[in-house]
Structure 1
Amino acid sequence: MKIEHVAIWVKDLEAMKHFYETYFNGSASAKYHNKDKAFESYFLTFDGTTRLEIMRQSGVDQPDSKKRTGWAHIAISLGSQEQVNQMTDTLKKTGFHLVNGPRVTGDGYYESVIEDPEGNYLELTV
């Protein structure tokens, strides 16, 4: 068994597509648009197999509370501590909010956590 993809609701579909293409080398599919449901989406593929679906639909526009149960973050493996440090620095300099790190967590992960353009947590790890 494998997870085929994960999906996230977004407000600005094009800005989120640009973010994942620019900083994480995502490759976007053609935009899917269902006019009857006012729904649009892209599938972004990373390293040939991992996929993230970004979706927008009329009426889905309220952010989740940070103090809730459910998905907490998406973790992106960058391959080394140096790459975590470099990506963290790049995103900070570009104006993205650093939540914490880079650091070694209590369970031994080397990570930093940043917010994407819409405030979703991305864990950058080895």
Structure 2
Amino acid sequence: MKIEHLAIWVRDLEPMRIFYETYFLASSNDKYVNATKGFSSYFLTFPAGGARLEIMQMAGIPESKNNALAQFTGLIHFAISVGSEAAVDTLTNRLRADGYKVIGEPRRTGDGYYESIILDPEENRIEIMA
């Protein structure tokens, strides 16, 4: 078994698609639209394969009451491997320079990973890891 995809509700579909294409080299399928439900989505596929990310938008989805900087029960982050420690540092610095929040500086964790943590445009946590 494997995780096929994760899905997140987003407020603004197009900027989120562009973010993941720009910084994580994701490729997108054609936009899916269900006019009856007012639902739209994209599936984002990453170059090295693995699980895809579905970003979805629909009127009436309530805002999350979770604070992006605090921990809470439920899905808290997902990790994207960029292949090397140097790539973690480079991408983290690029995102910072482009105005995105870095909430965990690049570091070696107690369990041996090299990672940083950033917030995407809608404040979802992403671990960037080697």
Q: Which moved more, 1:45-54 or 1:27-36?
A: 45-54
Post-superposition offset of 1:63: 2.1
| Amino acid in structure 2 at the alignment position of 1:29 | N
Which amino acid in structure 2 is aligned with residue 121 of structure 1?
A: R
Residue of structure 2 in register with 1:112 after alignment: 116
> What is the distance in 2 between the residues matched to 1:75 and 1:49?
13
Structure 1 stretches of 4+ moved >3 Å: none
Partner residue, 2:53: 52
> Could you tell me the TM-score, scaled by structure 2's length?
0.92
**Aligned partner of 2:100 among 96, 100, 120:** 96
- Distance in 2 separating the partners of 1:22 and 1:12: 16
- Confirm whether residue 85 of structure 1 aligns to residue 89 of structure 2: yes
Cα pair 1:11 1:61 within 8 Å, conserved? no
Structure 1: segments with no counterpart, 5+ residues: none
Q: Do the aligned partners of residues 4 and 68 (structure 1) sit closer, same or farther apart at CA in structure 2, a change above 3 Å counting?
A: same
Please give the alpha-carbon distance, in whole angstroms, between the structure 2 residues aligned to 1:94 and 1:86: 12
DSSP-derived class of the 2:40 partner: strand
The equivalent residue for 1:13 is 13
- Matching residue of 1:123: 127
Given that 1:79 and 1:125 are in contact with CA atoms closer than 8 Å, whether structure 2 keeps it comes out as yes
Instruction: Output the TM-score relative to the length of structure 1.
Output: 0.95
Q: Which runs of 5+ in 2 are unaligned?
A: none
Q: Which residue of 2 aligns with 1:71?
A: 75
Code of the aligned partner of 1:57: M
How many pairs were matched up? 126
> How high is the sequence identity, in percent, across the aligned residues?
52
